Amino acid sequence: MSATSHSPVFLHHNDLQQLLQILQHDGYTCIGPQVRDGVIHYDHIDTVEQLPRGYGQHQQPGHYQLEPAGHDRYFAWANGPQALKPWLFSPREALWQCQAGEDKLAFEQVAAEDDPLAVFGVRACDIAALYLHDKHFLQQTHRDPGYRSRRQNLLLVAVNCSHPAETCFCASTGDGPEVHYGHDLVLSELSEGFIVQAHTEKGLSILARLPAETASQSRIAAAQASSRAAAEQQGRRLPSQDLQAALFANLDHPRWEDIARRCLSCGNCTSVCPTCFCHREFDEPSLDGQTSTHYRQWDSCFNQGHSYIHGITLRAETRLRYRQWLTHKLGSWHQQYGRSGCVGCGRCISWCPVGIDLTAEASLICTGSEA
């Protein structure tokens, strides 16, 4: 895709609905952030009224609290537990069906849904994670048909993060808070509206239909300052270098045991992680016995069955499971996909029930001191 050169435009808050309408008109099913069950959650939206306008949130290790922010911005919050991942890599998905006849079996692929999807409000960390899943599911010898059909029809309206959470560290991994690739349009929110930029031809065609004006230099400068501040605000950091050697040299570090005393092996971290890709496969036969559907569902390396092999569980202890997760996420990913499997979103820290902080643990194990 050619980098589109155009002057950034300014879109008033009141005109955001028009952007949504253009996407709907172009045939996109629109997905956007909204408040549900006390968190910011991504699901179908019909109107911008559904967006979490005026909300902020407070996140700490093991803590997430949505709160009124005292302003009327749409995107002045950091990510909730999920955003883009479930829309591409489905939490549960039928892969194929088998019909049973008299000593006969007939297999049929289950077609993946391929409605064009437009996702509103995607952050830089989640786009980085999307690119990692592209490598995993699409750029290897075998490609995943379901992921592929959803990915092909995806349009992203990204947002530059202006209010990172206390648990965010995307600036240190190099993945945010500003969006640099992967999007069709990107919004930077100011108090009265958005600076909008297109990154693709599709994005440009949408932008051309917006009731927008050329953005003033002062507004562009304000948006840039907001991104800089969002980066500087981040207190946590993860060494950006390849930690593979450091982690694998410390497999017997006493800290693993210390973590295991706190870790519940619940798998929350892997569920909220935008790059975790493990999934298990299972059959669900119909009640009449005529058909069996083969599903896949998210799995976690913290589950007992993940390392099961003919009667043996290789990682029976929590210590070994956490070590598997961290050595993979921050180590083996480099060899597998050319970069760390961590994009700095901080979800695993906020959503860990006991508040285990990956940045602190990695730093302790690799360098001997907390970051």
Question: Where along the sequence are the contacts to other proteins (CB under 8 A)?
Answer: 95-96, 98, 100, 103-107, 109, 136-137, 140-145, 148-149, 244, 248, 251, 277-283, 285, 289, 292, 294, 296, 299, 301, 305-311, 314-315, 317, 319-320, 323-324, 327-328, 331-332, 334-336
> Considering the complex, what minimum distance in angstroms separates the CB of residue 363 from other proteins?
22
Nearest CB to other proteins, comparing residues 229 and 249: 249
What is the closest distance, in whole angstroms, from the C-beta atom of residue 355 to other proteins in the complex? 24
C-beta closer to other proteins: residue 70 or 305: 305
CB-based contact 348:273 (threshold 8 Å): yes
Amino acid at 253: H
Nearer to other proteins, 221 or 314 (CB): 314
Distance CA 20, CA 5 (A): 23
Helices (H), 187-305: 201-208, 217-232, 244-248, 255-262, 268-272
Minimum Å distance from CB 327 to other proteins?
A: 8
Nearer of residues 95 and 222 to other proteins, judged by Cβ: 95
Q: How far is the CB of 312 from other proteins (least distance, A)?
A: 10
Give the number of C-alpha atoms closer than 13 A to the C-alpha of residue 47, restricted to the C-beta side: 3
Which is nearest to 129 in space by CA: 165, 179, 92, 91? 179
For other proteins, the closer CB: 69 or 138: 138
Non-local CB neighbours of 49 within 8 Å, separated by 6+ positions:
none
Measured CA distances, 115 to 89, 137, 264, 272 (Å): 15, 19, 39, 25
313 conformational bin, left if phi > 0, alpha if psi -120 to 50, beta if neither: beta
Q: Any idea what the Cα angle at residue 76 is, between residues 201 and 159, rounded to 5°?
A: 15
DSSP bridge pairs for 48: none
Q: How far apart are the first and last CA of the chain?
A: 39
Cα–Cα nearest to 336, from 151, 176, 137: 137
DSSP label of 34:
E
Q: In which element (H, E) is residue 365 found? A: helix 358-367
The Cα diameter of the chain in Å comes to 75
In the complex with other proteins, the residue whose CB is nearer, 28 or 298, is 298
For other proteins, the closer CB: 29 or 332: 332
Of the pair 47, 152, the CB lying nearest other proteins is at 152
The SS3 of residue 145 is: helix
- Specify the DSSP element, H or E, that contains 348: helix 347-350
Nearest distance in Å: CB 188, other proteins: 36
Cβ proximity to other proteins: between 54 and 145 the closer is 145
Long-range CB contact pairs, 303-311, < 8 A, 24+: 303/267, 305/280, 306/278, 306/280
Q: Could you tell me the smallest distance in angstroms from the CB atom of residue 323 to other proteins? A: 6
Q: How far is the CB of 86 from other proteins (least distance, A)?
A: 17
Q: How far is the CB of 103 from other proteins (least distance, A)?
A: 5
Quote the least distance from Cβ 261 to other proteins, whole Å.
17
